[in-house]
Amino acid sequence: MEKRELLYEGKAKRLFLTDDENLVISEFKDDLTAFNGAQKSSEAGKGALNNKISTELFKLLEKNGIKTHFVKMLDDNHMLHTKVDVILIEVIVRNIATGSLTRNLGIKDGTVLPFTLVEFDYKDDDLGDPKLNDQHALILGLVEYQDELDKLRRMAREVNDVLRPFFAAKGLNLVDFKLEFGKDKNGNIILVDEISPDNCRFWDMESGEKLDKDRFREGLGGLKVAYEEVLNRILG
C-alpha cells in the first residue's frame, strides 16, 4: 500500500492518503503533549509502542464484535485503516475517579465509581475540549440524531466491557480512557483513532503505579518503560 500526500497532522499522528480512496495510513509520532498542548516533549519509540498496543487492542475488540477502522499494522510506526468522517466528540469512559473528575467535582482520587461514567467532550483544541451535553452536540451539528449519541454511549460501554476485564487479568486497572468514533463510507459509526497509554489511564493493581501518559503530565519519568510494560502484559 503506497503512502501518498499528507492529509492531516495531529498531536500524536500524521494521516496520509493511499492509492485506495477508502484507506488511509496513520504514522504514530514520538511527540508528547499534555494540557491541550501547553506541555510538550518527545520520547523516542513512543509512537511505535502506541501503534503496537493499539493494533493488539483493535484486534481484541474486533474479535468481540466491535467494529473499528483497523485494517493492519504496516510496520512499527504505521497503521493502515479505513477512511472515515471523524465525529468531533471525544467520548470519555471513567471507572475510577481521578484527573479532571476529581478536580471538578471533588470526588476523592482513586474512588471506584458506582457505575461506569460516560462523558462527552467537544473535540476542539482552540476551545480547550469543553464538556458537552446532548443538546450542545445537536445544536453544534456534531451528530444528526439523538440515536447517534445513544450509540456512542452504548459502544463506549461495550469497549469498556471488553477491555476492563482483559486488563484486570493482566494486573492492571483500566481507570479511564478516551475514545473517538467516525462514520465510514456507508454511514456506519465505528471506533477510530487509537487505544494506548496516551489516551488511557492504567494503574498497577498491586502497587498503584501509573503506566500511562500521567508519567509525562506529572513529571514522573520512565514513560517508555511504562508503555513497554503495558505492551508486554497485553502480549503475555
Residues of the chain with CATH 3.30.470.20: 86-235
The residue among 177, 220, 216, 227 whose CA lies nearest residue 199 is: 177
Tell me if 28 sits within 8 A of 50, measured CB to CB: yes
Domain 86-235 coded CATH 3.10.20.30: no
Residues of the chain with CATH 3.30.200.20: 3-82
Tell me if 230 sits within 8 A of 53, measured CB to CB: yes
What is the reported pLDDT for 157? 98
pLDDT tens track, the chain, 236 positions: 789 999 999 999 999 999 999 999 999 999 999 987 779 999 999 999 999 999 999 999 999 999 999 999 999 999 999 999 999 999 999 999 999 999 999 999 999 999 999 999 999 999 999 999 999 999 999 999 999 999 999 999 999 999 999 999 999 999 999 999 999 999 999 999 999 999 999 999 999 999 999 999 999 999 999 999 999 999 99
Instruction: Collect all residues with Cβ–Cβ distance below 8 Å to 75 and sequence separation of at least 6.
Output: none
Measured in whole angstroms, the distance separating CA 114 from the mean position of its chain's CA atoms is 23
What is the reported pLDDT for 35? 84
What is the reported pLDDT for 216? 97
Amino acid identity of residue 181, one-letter, is F
* Distance (Å, whole) CA 130 – CA 167: 29
CATH for 3-82, options being 3.55.40.10, 3.40.718.10, 3.30.200.20, 3.40.190.10: 3.30.200.20
* Distance (Å, whole) CA 152 – CA 159: 11
